[in-house]
Amino acid sequence: MTKTELLDLIARHTREILPGLDAHQFIESDRLADLGANSVDRAEIAMLVQESLCLSVSRVELFGPKNIGELADLFLEKLDVA
């Protein structure tokens, strides 16, 4: 999976949780919190992405990434290990 595909996946699940972002053009530096996702929304988005990837990442590791680009990198790294 490419980083672009992973970013698209994150964007898709973010729109699922926050339907108001339907028209938003996601970029790597976007921060979910700045887009209106509260802590529960962020946990939901992360879980949906993990399910789509058939991948389980610990909640602690998910605190690291500062934007969706870094989140995509974390998932890519985990996919490589898997």
Residues at the site binding another protein, with contacts judged by CB under 8 A? 17-20, 40-41, 43-44, 47-48, 50-51, 56
CA separation for the pair 74, 16 (Å, rounded): 21
Q: In degrees to the nearest 10, what's the CA dihedral of 65, 79, 13, 44? A: -60
State in angstroms the smallest separation of the CB of 28 from another protein. Answer: 23
State in angstroms the smallest separation of the CB of 31 from another protein. Answer: 18
Residue nearer to another protein on the CB measure, 43 or 76:
43
Residue nearer to another protein on the CB measure, 19 or 23:
19
State in angstroms the smallest separation of the CB of 14 from another protein. Answer: 11
CA separation for the pair 20, 16 (Å, rounded): 9
CA separation for the pair 77, 52 (Å, rounded): 16
